[in-house]
Structure 1
Amino acid sequence: MIPATQLSQLPQDVRKLVRRVYMDRSVADFEKLCNRLPDCSASELCILQPVLYMYLDPDRIPAKSTPAVATDIELVYKSLLVIVTTLGYIDGSGIGSAGSEKQYLISAWNRVAPWLIFFHDQFIMCRANYRPVDKMVAIRIVASLLLHVVMVSGKRGGTTLLTTPALYRPIAELWLLALKTKDKYVVCLSSSPGPAHITSFRVFGSLVVSSCIQDESFVTILLEVSGGIDAVTSAALKYVKSLRSMAKTPDIASDNFKLELLVLVFSHCVKIIATTSTLDAAIREAYLLRQSVKEIFGALRVLQSLFLGKESMAQALAPSFTYLDFLLKCADDPASALHQALCAHAFETMVHISPSGPLEESKLVETDPRRINEAFFRTLFKYSLDDKILSYVCKHVDAWSNNLGPIVREEKYLLDIWSGVEQTIRTYATLRSKAETIWWPSPSKMGRVLQCRCDGTAEDIRFRQCAGCQVVRYCSKRCQRDSWHNHHRLSCNFLKAAVGSSTPQRMKRSLRLLAGLEVGHIQRKWDNILRLFAAARCEYPKDRERLVLELSLDKNDESVRPLRDYIFLFNGLSENEVVDRISSSWPDSRGQLHGLFLCSVITIHDRYRSRQILFSPRIALDMEIVPQTFSRDSQDV
């Protein structure tokens, strides 16, 4: 009830309408009052707030929509509609303000929420045969009120009222429905004085879900409603894809308020994808194959083109990099995740996102653009050993260096890190070029160095690979059999040891690159290697003829130890068998080790970020290729 002192402040015609509304449940009288509200002042609307909520009695909610309860439904419908219309009109300060109409919505939420659930169930999901309220109108009412509660309660610092379990199913169903509805702009929001803004239903869906996603019971309902974790992840990825087109529409691109909402949508959807990928390895791999990283960083690039504020872009970058970092640590093919990010201009995007404040030691990598750039540069350095990544960065390193953003140029430590990475990329590119054109040229037009060198190399041949090393490819069974008896029986185990077990696909692509780096390392550090050799002969007098040179490519370090420390690399071969095979099939024709060492090994970090020892790619390539070349030259003679 409105106190008499406040009621007296209203215009006479409004007072009469209020008294008639209080006297009976007349739809006509309430409609007349609603029609009069646009002409009321802000102070008058404040006084009228109790009247707008008087019909929202949870005890009068019917079990089902029928003609018998049409009056109650009509009164509630008009009440909710006028509440949505007046939100933001009174004080003109927008969502999150201390306006009385918003305070009244929060205080009366226990009366509003049950009716929203009823409207959703009966009219939005169409579970009633008698539907006096249009579906899209019901969507607008329910979605607008839910989103207002999210924004208002969030800015007040309290727990959102949407964490009521009874609302979880409607929220989950609305989130999925938002992707299917043709009407994109249905949610009524006010961000400035004047008429309320209309924003995207898809924006609403993601924001509301994000406020509940941490609750396990909500996740259970979301999985049930959507049909499983795959459907949830798929919906989040669809949101990310649609966001790219939404951001380019003039209606949104010209409205800072809506752009800020898009950033929130993007961040929450990426978090959903990351969360489901963490929970399910199959989802993680499936969505990596569906180019999830490329879609995410592509959307981030679009957001950056809209000239959002520093804080907004930093907020969008944080979950994107967190998801990428997770895939680099856990995915079966982390190089593919990084390649997707690079193809979506992740480097260009990151170096041009400025921090919103001073660097704080307490900030995590995931939350500060400077630390994210540092981590990304170090990731580039690590994955430059991957042939696919190196091929991409070599094409773009000049453009990157010429267009570094202020975040890198203004932070000396970042600029120093990038300079080191740039130098490494250029060095690797030079060594790979020598390996591919001079030391181990390919007989194949497609660049496959470990492919049979017989005459049967037509483009339509389906090459088969050796089942043992899974590296060398042959055009026929006959070619494979001849190669085995000729030389491959000796080199097979060593090729397998050169590609390793943790990252075989990556190593197969990068074998010549690693071999080139090995050659460069030996040439660069030969003086120190000689000192280590002299010390090792004294330390291991019984193993003087079986010393192995270990090169740490990722640490630019080297050591010398006896062969027995590396025998685990050779798939069950004894120490004597390893010595015999290396001596008979690899005479060090290039003279790299000058007869001082039996062989060499290299160490890198695998996809699990642990130290991995590999047999020398240089020696393995020589063992496979040099005998073929010698045999072919003999036949030519």
Structure 2
Amino acid sequence: MPVAATRSILQISTDETRALKSLSVATQITAKNALQGSITDLAKLVDFIPINKFNASRFYCLVPIFHATLSSVQVPNYINSKTIPTIMRAKWALMGLVKICAIVPTASDGGDDALTKNIVRRWDEIYPWMRFFVRNCLPPPYDISIAPPRPDLCNMFDAAKMTIHLLTFICTNSEEGRHMLRSSVSVQHFVAQLWILVGNLKRDSIQGDPGTTTDGLVSMVRATFPLTNYVCVSESEDPDKITLPLSNYIHAAGGVKPVVSTLLRYIRRITRDAAAVEEPRSWTTRDQSVQSLHIFTTGLRYSFLFLQTISRQDASCRAQLIRQGSIRTVVDAITQILPKILVQANKEMDFHPEMGIAGRQDVLWTGYSYIASAIRDADDGVTSVCQAIDAGLIQTLEKGVVCAAHANRRDIPPRGRMGDIELLFLLATFFIYHRVVESIFRHWYRHTQNAPMEKREIRDEGLGVALELVLKSSIDAMDHRSVEPINPQEYKCSGPGCGIWTSKFVSKKRRCSGCLISLYCSEKCQRTAWRSGHKKWCQVLRCAVGPWGSRDIRTSLQVIAGFETSEISGMTKEVETHVREAQQQFPAFINTLVLMLDMTVFPPEIHVLPVHMLEQFPGEDPIWPEIADEIRQRSDSPPKGYMFSVVKVHLGKSKFTLFSPSTALCMAFESQYFLNDETYDSMDEDDGYDWNKLSDEDLDF
């Protein structure tokens, strides 16, 4: 290429000129020609820079030439024969800076790192050219089938190096650069569109680095870019620095649906690439398979972190993620990579700061942490738990017990804050729900079909003990659900003397809008039940389904009651101890103590408190002493030292304190109050109940 004419020779300082003399004579001549405007010699300077870090620092003196070149050119509005020389000079100058910063992480003078000094603090002259090459040398984000407009100026490989790779360098090495990504609206828009583009790229999209193979190049780009993506929405290391709201990034990426679908596509494709990595011949940092596996799993980790961040910060993202199967995608990713990374090799490898066991474990813990946060932060955590179990999370954790334990020695890093054991215990707190028990049935069916009576070798004893406890709880849940129904009101009319089953109802089922539990075949049956005892128990039953009357709680009362009875009976000594302590702690309320079984934690915990101290429970209601008296009169073994028991449950972020389901169901429906027809027909209209509050409901039992 001929030397392009320039108005004047590029100027660099005397010290910078003197530094060039440390290079070979041939390189000095090339540098001089580059300063005089030779595009060919500028390209040669970039080629002279070695691709490894050995002796790379001596080429740091070329940086002023690249900066001087960029300072002398401006981004053109049009591409034609007159502007092409300018574009080519900018391309090679930017390529030189990227190459230098990749191999010289710190400045030779001991000052700021090379990346911050030469890229981040010169952002105003570098960023416009990055946008220019993305716009003209990469396909559009949402339709990668369209060819780049000017591939002759810069192939896709070089364009990716100057943009995507450069952003990765910034996120890895420069705190100042990370803050810039978090605080600049235009940069976040730029990153968001690049993220969509990379997510849509096919395996063979990027061609062009003469002399080297492009096999797996798109996979590597896709695995490294999640770091940049996560940095843009993460919180700053400095609490005094402002981070832009997540809505800015979502808007730039095209909205919630594109963000969610692209993110899940990233995870699936990176997982596929990680699973395809060949088994390492030797677990050393120099092994190509180990290096590839590290890149892919690191990409998964940052994808999981981004997943957790947008789920926590934006309710619409959280809901859309669940709808599009994010939990299933994460479980599948963990299932495929777990046996590849939970491998103990040797002391040198296991304690490596980046590729060691702690780093590999962190990938799994980050995925587990997202699943846990999706369950805890959701309004409907039951759906999230069902997704996790149906996706095979329990089977995946069962596979974990056959891997060597990585936390059983002091010199091995401990488990993550939200690791496999913590997630297991969180799942167990939802085993009280009917829908979850159905998923458990399906899990056990698959388990017995795929590996009947298979005995696994347990090498991770901590996880093995936790898994045994949780699996026992899952079996208990199925047992409680399969017991002869203690709540026949869900299957037949609750009217006194009426034995019509719901399947034989002529009209729609009438559910009491007060308690949300009792069903009636007619208004006549409902009036009779009200006068015969439901008037007193309606409020009690409503307190057994929670203040918002969740359908999940209502349809799960039998399972909750089963757990309540078995847990309290199994902790008799502990109950007596808590009652004595509460009597000493609350002497003024000794007659209003209530036993609370906290099932929001696993294993469940026992607490004894005055009734007015219970959260979301009508503690001041005068009906409770009357109910307590009736419990003592009608119970074969009345509670000692407390009025009655309550159960604390959660549906995700919402927690409820429920009146004892076992007590409410047994006593409210102990008798159907068989009355003769004369009494049945003589009921008054004026009985203190608003009959307009009937709830017609088609049930799907």
Query: TM-score if structure 2 supplies the norm length?
Result: 0.65
Residue in structure 2 matched with residue 616 of structure 1 by the alignment? 660
Residue in structure 1 matched with residue 218 of structure 2 by the alignment? 199
Residue in structure 2 matched with residue 493 of structure 1 by the alignment? 539
CA contact (8 A) 2:544 2:658 kept: yes
Residue in structure 2 matched with residue 341 of structure 1 by the alignment? 388
Residue in structure 2 matched with residue 60 of structure 1 by the alignment? 73
Deviations 1:332-364 (A, max 9, x none): 122332332233333343462766677679988
Residue in structure 2 matched with residue 175 of structure 1 by the alignment? 195
- Establish whether residue 261 from structure 1 lines up as the match of residue 295 from structure 2: yes
Tell me: CA distance 1:251–1:188, structure 2 relative to 1, closer, same or farther (3 Å). farther
Query: TM-score if structure 1 supplies the norm length?
Result: 0.70
Deviations 1:513-542 (A, max 9, x none): 2322344457657799899999999x99x9
CA contact (8 A) 2:433 2:553 kept: yes
Residue in structure 1 matched with residue 433 of structure 2 by the alignment? 386
User: In 1, distance between residues paired with 2:494 and 2:290?
Assistant: 56
Q: Is the partner of 2:658 in helix, strand or coil? A: strand
User: In 2, distance between residues paired with 1:552 and 1:43?
Assistant: 65
- Establish whether residue 134 from structure 1 lines up as the match of residue 151 from structure 2: yes
User: In 2, distance between residues paired with 1:510 and 1:608?
Assistant: 16
User: In 1, distance between residues paired with 2:179 and 2:576?
Assistant: 71
- Establish whether residue 8 from structure 1 lines up as the match of residue 25 from structure 2: yes
- Establish whether residue 75 from structure 1 lines up as the match of residue 75 from structure 2: no
Aligned with 2:230 (options 193, 210, 213): 210
- Establish whether residue 239 from structure 1 lines up as the match of residue 286 from structure 2: no
Structure 1 residue 174 displacement after superposition: 0.8
Q: Is the partner of 1:470 in helix, strand or coil? A: coil
Residue in structure 2 matched with residue 115 of structure 1 by the alignment? 129
CA contact (8 A) 2:649 2:655 kept: yes
**Count of aligned pairs:** 599
Q: Is the partner of 2:232 in helix, strand or coil? A: coil
1:431-510 equivalences under 5 Å are 431-433=480-482, 436-437=483-484, 439-440=486-487, 444=491, 454-455=500-501, 457=503, 463=509, 465-473=511-519, 484=530, 488-501=534-547, 504-510=550-556
1:270-309 equivalences under 5 Å are 270-304=304-338, 306-307=340-341
Structure 1 residue 511 displacement after superposition: 0.8
User: In 2, distance between residues paired with 1:518 and 1:40?
Assistant: 66
Q: Is the partner of 1:383 in helix, strand or coil? A: coil
CA contact (8 A) 2:431 2:437 kept: yes
CA contact (8 A) 1:163 1:211 kept: no
CA contact (8 A) 1:297 1:345 kept: yes
Deviations 1:62-91 (A, max 9, x none): 34123264333452476279759x969xxx
Q: Is the partner of 2:419 in helix, strand or coil? A: helix
Q: Which 5+ residue runs of structure 2 have no aligned equivalent?
A: 1-16, 108-112, 142-147, 237-242, 281-287, 344-356, 679-701
User: In 2, distance between residues paired with 1:318 and 1:582?
Assistant: 50
Residue in structure 2 matched with residue 319 of structure 1 by the alignment? 366
User: In 1, distance between residues paired with 2:558 and 2:51?
Assistant: 79
Structure 1 residue 104 displacement after superposition: 8.3
Counterpart amino acid of residue 327 in structure 1: A
- Establish whether residue 600 from structure 1 lines up as the match of residue 644 from structure 2: yes
Q: Is the partner of 1:199 in helix, strand or coil? A: helix
Of Structure 1 and Structure 2, which has the larger fraction of its residues in helix? 1
User: In 2, distance between residues paired with 1:303 and 1:535?
Assistant: 49
C-alpha RMSD over aligned residues: 6.0
User: In 2, distance between residues paired with 1:186 and 1:600?
Assistant: 69
Counterpart amino acid of residue 500 in structure 1: G
CA contact (8 A) 2:67 2:93 kept: no
Tell me: CA distance 1:380–1:222, structure 2 relative to 1, closer, same or farther (3 Å). closer
CA contact (8 A) 1:199 1:258 kept: no
Tell me: CA distance 1:534–1:241, structure 2 relative to 1, closer, same or farther (3 Å). closer
Structure 1 residue 276 displacement after superposition: 2.4
CA contact (8 A) 2:505 2:521 kept: no
Aligned with 2:460 (options 393, 399, 408): 408
CA contact (8 A) 2:70 2:93 kept: no
User: In 1, distance between residues paired with 2:92 and 2:557?
Assistant: 71
Counterpart amino acid of residue 131 in structure 2: I
CA contact (8 A) 2:331 2:392 kept: yes
Tell me: CA distance 1:423–1:25, structure 2 relative to 1, closer, same or farther (3 Å). closer
Structure 1 residue 372 displacement after superposition: 1.8
Aligned-pair identity (%): 15
Q: Which 5+ residue runs of structure 1 have no aligned equivalent?
A: 89-93
- Establish whether residue 186 from structure 1 lines up as the match of residue 206 from structure 2: yes
User: In 2, distance between residues paired with 1:116 and 1:533?
Assistant: 70
Tell me: CA distance 1:227–1:473, structure 2 relative to 1, closer, same or farther (3 Å). farther
Tell me: CA distance 1:442–1:396, structure 2 relative to 1, closer, same or farther (3 Å). farther
Residue in structure 1 matched with residue 623 of structure 2 by the alignment? 575
Q: Which moved more, 1:232-241 or 1:522-531?
A: 522-531
Tell me: CA distance 1:457–1:7, structure 2 relative to 1, closer, same or farther (3 Å). same
User: In 2, distance between residues paired with 1:98 and 1:529?
Assistant: 63
Residue in structure 2 matched with residue 550 of structure 1 by the alignment? 595
Structure 1 residue 320 displacement after superposition: 2.2
Tell me: CA distance 1:58–1:3, structure 2 relative to 1, closer, same or farther (3 Å). closer
1:40-59 equivalences under 5 Å are 50=62, 53=66, 56-59=69-72
User: In 2, distance between residues paired with 1:630 and 1:303?
Assistant: 63
User: In 2, distance between residues paired with 1:598 and 1:514?
Assistant: 20
CA contact (8 A) 2:94 2:126 kept: no
Q: Is the partner of 2:644 in helix, strand or coil? A: strand
- Establish whether residue 332 from structure 1 lines up as the match of residue 346 from structure 2: no
Residue in structure 2 matched with residue 145 of structure 1 by the alignment? 162
Deviations 1:418-453 (A, max 9, x none): 4444444444544444xx326456875xxx998995
Tell me: CA distance 1:195–1:608, structure 2 relative to 1, closer, same or farther (3 Å). closer
